[in-house]
Amino acid sequence: MYTNITKVIAREILDSRGTPTIEVDLFSKKIKATASVPSGASVGIHAALELRDHEQRYFGKGVKKAVANVNTIIFPAIKGMSCFNQKALDNFLITLDGTPNKAILGANAILAVSLANARLASKIKNIPLYKHISKLAQTKPRLPTPFFNVINGGKHSDSKLAIQEFMIVPKSKSFKQALRMGSETYHMLKHILEKRGANSTNVGDEGGFVPNIATTSQALRLLTKAIKAAGYEGKIKIAMDAAATSFFKRGKYKIDKRTLTKDKLVQKYRRMLLKYPIISLEDPFYEEDFISFAKLTKLVGKSVQIVGDDLLVTNIERMETAIKAKACNCLLLKVNQIGTLTEAINAFKLAKKQRWNVMVSHRSGETEDSFIADLVVGLGAGQIKSGAPCRSERLAKYNQLLRIEEEL
């Protein structure tokens, strides 16, 4: 069986926002595997560096440099390596770059190669990608619970809402049934919003609606109304991604037409959690405020998962700081925050060692690549968020999960 990498071709493509990103074809003789890399709007300051051209074309967001790095630096360096040794390849790429945040080659360039390599190995082995990932991570595959982002705020829309994502979480033994529940509730929400007049059903970057509302309580009332009208009261819970760094200004939080101290914001969250069926709250505070994260986790962590995204950026060092501070109890796993599949698996393992939950996540600027669907199943992470049940780049992940469910 021939497993060596024989050719690598990188190209610039466009993501779901029409912004350039990188796609890589990896070859072992005639066998080809392709992977593309997403991009976020809300980006933690400690995330691995996404290399952009900063030239006139595409308003500075081109990725010609990252493409050139793959074609002229990475390919000659990895030619002849076995795609079966994911860890060796990823570690070699990290060393080749030589910076803590992959600033030389670009995390987007490195990740595209890393993901394509995993897909190539699964093709050569003639096994599904999720099974290959399961073998790499030494985990048991399982289907996840989906978190559907149905109202978009913050940096994902032009809404007045400070909170970035309002999600519905169907509880079902079957992913197929959970998807149906999510889709029906999404359409019921659309029906409710249509009565509010023009533009109420416009959608944001992740397919969620962008209604003309300004407060968190308005959004939560709309969700509970839609869930009840769809017939799923008690069967669908609510989750939020505050992405609070985006509304943190001069030491305070500007939310719902008010300016709050961190202690007042803790109290606000606590009231919301008591009033609504919220089971998950992501990035409730500024990404450096481990103390407030810890305070909220201590107060509500037994019944609600406090998720670290910008706080952790899928980075082992950041996670270790959070562990010492007892700052959260769930990792949001984004492969493009860290830059290689191996590092993402290591972050997952550390989270599980701490008995944290893990949610695998898309980005607001996505592609049609469904890699994270196989990743969440292969790791057995148990939770995924990939936007609304709307827009093909989101549904590519959910539809892949339907296919996987037929095999498991």
* Catalytic annotation, residues: 206, 334
Task: Give the C-alpha separation, 326 to 228, whole Å.
Answer: 35
Task: Give the C-alpha separation, 338 to 108, whole Å.
Answer: 10
CB 145 within 8 A of CB 383: yes
For CA atoms 313, 137, 326, 239, give the dihedral sign: positive
Closest residue by Cα to residue 158 from 109, 190, 194, 205 = 205
Q: Give the list of residues 6+ apart from residue 100 with CB closer than 8 angstroms, or none.
A: none
Task: Give the C-alpha separation, 44 to 193, whole Å.
Answer: 32
Tell me the two tokens of residue 318. Answer: 């950041």
Per DSSP (E only), the strands in 158-312 are: 165-170, 236-241, 248-249, 252-255, 258-260, 278-282, 305-308
Length of the chain: 408
CB 227 within 8 A of CB 173: no
Tell me the two tokens of residue 219. Answer: 């959004």
Tell me the two tokens of residue 148. Answer: 């559907």
| 49 DSSP assignment | P
CA neighbours closer than 13 Å in the CB half-sphere of residue 128:
19
CB atoms within 10 A of CB 296: 23
Identity (one letter) of the amino acid at 31?
I
Classified as helix, coil or strand, 278 is: strand
**DSSP conformation letters of 288-337:** T-HHHHHHHHHHHTTTSEEEESTTTTT-HHHHHHHHHHT--SEEEE-HHH
Task: Give the C-alpha separation, 16 to 211, whole Å.
Answer: 21
* Neighbouring-strand partners of residue 385: 147, 361
Task: Give the C-alpha separation, 285 to 185, whole Å.
Answer: 29
